Structure 1
Amino acid sequence: MKSDTPPFLSAIGNEETAQLPAARFPGEIVVVDDVRAIRAACAELAAEPVIGFDTETRPSFRPGVHNRVALLQLSTPRRCFLFRLCAVPLAREILRILENKRILKIGAAVSGDLAALHELRHFREGGFVDLQSIVGEWGIEEKSLRKMSAIVLGCRVSKAQRLSNWEAAKLTEQQQMYAATDAWSCIRIYERLQRVPKPKKAIIHDKSQSLSAKR
């Protein structure tokens, strides 16, 4: 079913976004920093049809210095697993999740996250959905997770912990909540979009792009 009226705003300002209630992951956060916990975590994730996906890397404030990815977040609606890749390997069990085409992994700007993971180990990813690539079908022009969440969910995803030390000996509660909320919000945005009809204008735009590509 298509609608003439755009279901969402196309864009939103920083001030309006800042006034929205903060998004907070309501489930259990599980920090995986021991190889013995990887198998059980992945077994639970493998049973889910849709999971949220994100990564975090310790920021570098020196030109030319690049740090490896330190954290992989994989979230179900009820539980978010934080794999500390600075402490545990990108194990085969985790790769099976990332390669499984039947498990949808929802993220934002996933190409950068995947490139960072490929620096640790080669794998053939499958089943990834990048919110940045699909929100335009609903007339949304914003691409940041913060703005997409504001438009689609009416809540604000905090970025206060983004530049914190993700390789610290122990993650703070604030870091854990930030990381879990990012991955979980991707699921919520995706599921909300799937319940809302796409506006006709977006469909027409997609067709015109397709015709141009054929030429």
Structure 2
Amino acid sequence: MAISIRDYNPPNGNYNLYRYDVCFFSDTIHTTVTSDPVIAGEWISEVQFNHCVGPETPIVGLDVEWLPTFGRGPQNPTATLQLCTGNRCLIYQLIHSSYIPSVLATFLSDRNITFVGVGIGSDLQRLWSDYTIGGQATRRVELGKLAAYFYESTVWERAGLKTLATLVLRKEVEKPQNVTLSRWDARRLTAEQVQYACVDAFVSLQIGKALNACSYNSSS
């Protein structure tokens, strides 16, 4: 199977930390799911350290999920933030976190890091509106615009992640509607939700790397 997940957690484990391995074709992504700001902060601090000593300009795949709003009324707040770098992914359940660690705000505003995603501008606006993190301070690259620049065709500017994955990576990504519209505000996410969220961030990262996002001038 091209995409699968291994769940290492007991059925009745605590709500603060879960670990999974998500398999995406030949890659295995070690995935941490948590609502604990200390655990999330430690994950981010380790990534920052690895980026400081690493030879490459860092790229981070970024995505968010929230409980869809049906009908009129305000949108529900962002439930999860996904960050992916290398073969590691963090799914941080912001909506259940007791506070937002300062290291996350610092990380998102680090101009030496390029954050990539589909619809990343609106995702960062949501994060700023809901939690006062991200926003304009984040160095971001919209993958649709990057693909349009790379392939010299504006047809790709508004392409979704599934289309870009096929175009750039030659890999098919499924985005089942029952997961897209599921309860992202749940205390414990299902394995299907974890796989979906992780793959979105990881595929964003892989597309960004393949198209050399670090050298792209997002203002162009």
Q: Which has the higher strand share?
A: 2
Map of 2:35 onto structure 1: 33
Which of 190, 193, 198 is the aligned partner of 1:172? 190
Deviation string 1:154-205 (CA, Å, 9 cap, x unpaired) is 112221121111011200111111101101101111111239xxxxxxxxxx
Q: What CA distance in whole angstroms lies between the structure 1 residues aligned with 2:37 and 2:62?
A: 20
In structure 2, the gaps of 5 or more residues are 4-22, 52-57, 214-219
Q: What CA distance in whole angstroms lies between the structure 2 residues aligned with 1:188 and 1:86?
A: 27
In the TM superposition, what are the counterparts of 1:129-144 in structure 2 within 5 Å?
A: 129-137=141-149, 138-140=151-153, 141-142=155-156, 143-144=159-160
Deviation string 1:6-64 (CA, Å, 9 cap, x unpaired) is xxxxxxxxxxxxxxx65836211101211221221111232331111000011111222
Q: What CA distance in whole angstroms lies between the structure 1 residues aligned with 2:173 and 2:201?
A: 11
TM-score (norm 1): 0.75
Counterpart of 1:173 in structure 2: which amino acid?
A: A
Deviation string 1:38-93 (CA, Å, 9 cap, x unpaired) is 22111123233111100001111122241000000001121100010111133211
SS in 1 for 2:185: coil
Map of 1:189 onto structure 2: 207
Q: What CA distance in whole angstroms lies between the structure 2 residues aligned with 1:45 and 1:120?
A: 24
Identity %, equivalent residues: 26
Q: Does 1:77 align with 2:86?
A: yes
Residue correspondences, number: 176
Which of 109, 112, 125 is the aligned partner of 1:115? 125
Which of 153, 163, 184 is the aligned partner of 1:147? 163
Q: What CA distance in whole angstroms lies between the structure 1 residues aligned with 2:168 and 2:162?
A: 10
SS in 1 for 2:180: coil
Deviation string 1:88-140 (CA, Å, 9 cap, x unpaired) is 13321111111001011111111110111011233452221111221111135
Runs of 4+ in 1 over 6 A off after TM superposition: none
Map of 1:60 onto structure 2: 69
In structure 1, the gaps of 5 or more residues are 1-20, 196-209, 211-215
Q: What CA distance in whole angstroms lies between the structure 2 residues aligned with 1:121 and 1:27?
A: 27
CA contact (8 A) 2:65 2:78 kept: yes
Map of 1:43 onto structure 2: 45
Greater RCO, 1 or 2 (C-alpha within 8 Å, sep 6+): 1
TM-score (norm 2): 0.74
